[in-house]
């Protein structure tokens, strides 16, 4: 799933969130220093990758649960990114968070190698849209979320109205 699908889903999730928050769009047009916090909060709030599975390579115990070598372990990034102990009021989209600990791109040795590229693409794209369009709004047709995979979180269709 690495590469274009995750970045595409990040961008769709980002533009959907901004279309629902016109005041935030204007804030971004006025203050481009908010772009990186908006991208990071989007990654936390609507992670483009929801979960990944790995096979345990050795027997291990985690929080009192024994996992045998070869057993499949699934990590739900979306749930971790909504953990209220780590992110107070996790269901609110906020730019004042300490987002160093979100796990939208995984962590440790499995951290996504493409994370810097995805962030850069999102930043360049968002700047270009902010330069060109004065407003972004939900389109007339309903957005359609992907339903084919439980791993990624994005849109099959995301109609938007862009104003010059």
The C-alpha atoms of residue 49 and residue 103 are separated, in whole angstroms, by 10
- Domain ranges within the chain, ordered by starting residue: 4-48+82-163
The C-alpha atoms of residue 107 and residue 109 are separated, in whole angstroms, by 7
Q: Is 40 helix (H, G, I), strand (E, B) or coil?
A: helix
Helices (H), the chain: 4-19, 22-30, 35-45, 77-80, 115-132
Q: Strands 135-138 and 51-55, how do they pair?
A: unpaired
| Residue-wise pLDDT tens digits, 50-87 | 888 889 999 999 999 999 999 999 988 889 999 999 99
| Residue-wise pLDDT tens digits, 24-58 | 999 999 999 999 999 999 999 998 888 888 899 99
Tell me which of 1.10.630.10, 3.30.70.20, 2.40.10.10, 3.20.20.60 is the CATH number of domain 4-48+82-163. 1.10.630.10
Rounded to the nearest angstrom, the gap between the alpha carbon of residue 95 and the centroid of all alpha carbons in its chain is: 14
């Amino acid at each position: 799933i690495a590469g274009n699908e995750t970045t595409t889903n990040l961008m769709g999730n980002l533009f959907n969130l901004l279309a629902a928050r016109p005041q935030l769009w204007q804030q971004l047009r006025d203050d481009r220093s908010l772009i990186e916090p908006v991208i990071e909060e989007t990654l936390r709030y609507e992670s483009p990758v929801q979960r990944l599975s790995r096979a345990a390579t050795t027997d291990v115990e985690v929080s009192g649960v024994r996992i045998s070598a070869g057993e499949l372990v699934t990590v739900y990034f979306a749930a971790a990114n909504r953990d209220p102990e780590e992110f107070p009021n996790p269901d609110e989209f906020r730019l004042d968070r300490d987002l160093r600990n979100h796990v939208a791109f995984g962590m440790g040795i499995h951290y996504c190698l493409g994370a810097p590229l995805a962030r850069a693409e999102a930043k360049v794209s968002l700047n270009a849209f902010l330069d060109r369009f004065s407003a972004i709004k939900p389109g007339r047709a309903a957005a359609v979320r992907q339903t084919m995979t439980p791993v990624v979180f994005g849109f099959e269709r995301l109609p938007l109205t862009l104003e010059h």
